[in-house]
Amino acid sequence: MYIAERWFERKTRSDGITLLWEPHVHPLLRCNIWHVRGRDKDLLVDTGLGAASLAAEIQDLIDKPLVAVATHVHYDHVGSLHEFEERIIHRDEARQMTHYKEFSSLRCADFPPGFLDSFEGPGDFDEYLIDALPHADFAVDNFTITSTEPTRTVAEGDGVDLGNRHLEVLHLPGHSPGSIGLLDAAAQTLFSGDAIYDGLLLDDLPDSNIEDYLGTMRRLRTLKVRTVHGGHEPSFNGDRLVELADAYIASRT
C-alpha cells in the first residue's frame, strides 16, 4: 500500500461544528469525528481508528480545554481517545476501555465470511480495511487500540457543559450496552453515535441486543431535533430520524 499524503479530511459547518473523517478507511470503520466549539471548552465526539494522531490533526482547532467523548467502545470510535486529557465514556463500557481487549482487526479475513459484503467500498479493500498507510512505520497486521482509563464515566441524564452549549447524555443501548448520544436541546441537535445513522445498522454484534435497540428506537423517534449527526454516513433531519427509527422497528417486530 502507498503512504497517504493526508490521513484526515474535514468539513467545517457554520454552527461551530467540524466533521473529520478518515477517507482511506473502509466505510464500515469510517467513523464520523465531530469537533464542537464551545465558549469555555470544546467537545470531541468520537476519535476514529487511531491509525494516525487525531490530536495532531486538530491542533489548529484547539484553543481551549477539550473533552473527548466516546459514544461507545467499538474500535473505530476510540482509537485516539488516549491522546486527550479529558476522556468520557458510559460507565457500562469504562472497564473495556481501561483494559482494551475488544476485536480490532484491519484484516478482512478476520471477519466472519460474508460480513463485509453488505458494505460498499472501493475494490482495493480486498485484503485490508484501509487502502493506504498513514505513515511508513505503520504495521497494519499489528494494529491495536491503546487502552486508556476514562477520566469520567457518565450515565443517563448527565451532561457536558461547554459554557454556551449544554449537551445531555442519553443512554441508547442496543448497538452496544453503553452506547450514548449527546443532545443539545437548545440547538435541537443530536450526536447519536452508532445508535442511529442513515445506513446499515448493526444489531448482531457480540454485545448487541435487539430488544434494547427497539427501546432506543422508540425513544429516538420522540425526540425534538432538527439535526442528527451520526457515527457514520451523512447527517440528517428530524423527519428522517423518525423514518429510520420506524424502519428499524418494523424490521424487528
Tens of pLDDT, residues 155-184: 999 999 999 999 999 999 999 999 999 999
Question: Distance between alpha carbon 56 and the CA centroid of its chain, in Å?
Answer: 19
How many other CB atoms are there within 10 angstroms of residue 199's CB atom?
A: 18
Per-residue pLDDT, 1: 86
Residue 178 CA: distances (Å) to CA of 82, 196, 229, 233, 237: 18, 14, 18, 21, 24
- Give the 3-state secondary structure of residue 18: strand
Q: Which amino acid is at 179?
A: S
pLDDT exceeds 80 at position 199: yes
Predicted structure pTM score: 0.96
Per-residue pLDDT, 152: 98
Residue 75 CA: distances (Å) to CA of 14, 27, 137, 146: 30, 14, 21, 10
pLDDT exceeds 70 at position 222: yes
Q: How many CA atoms lie within 13 A of 162 on its CB side?
A: 25
Pick from 36, 34, 37: which is nearest to 10 by CA? 34
- 121-133 in b/e form (b: 16+ CB < 10 A) is beeebeebbbbbb
Q: Which three cell numbers stand for residue 60?
A: 489548529
CA–CA gap between residue 97 and residue 149 (Å, rounded): 6
- 232-246 in b/e form (b: 16+ CB < 10 A) is beebbebeebbebbe
CATH architecture for residues 9-252: 4-Layer Sandwich (3.60)
CA–CA gap between residue 88 and residue 195 (Å, rounded): 17
pLDDT band at 122 (very low <50, low <70, confident <90, very high): low
Per-residue pLDDT, 115: 86
pLDDT exceeds 90 at position 114: no
Q: Which amino acid is at 136?
A: A
CA–CA gap between residue 44 and residue 23 (Å, rounded): 19
Per-residue pLDDT, 123: 58
Q: Which amino acid is at 1?
A: M
pLDDT exceeds 80 at position 88: yes
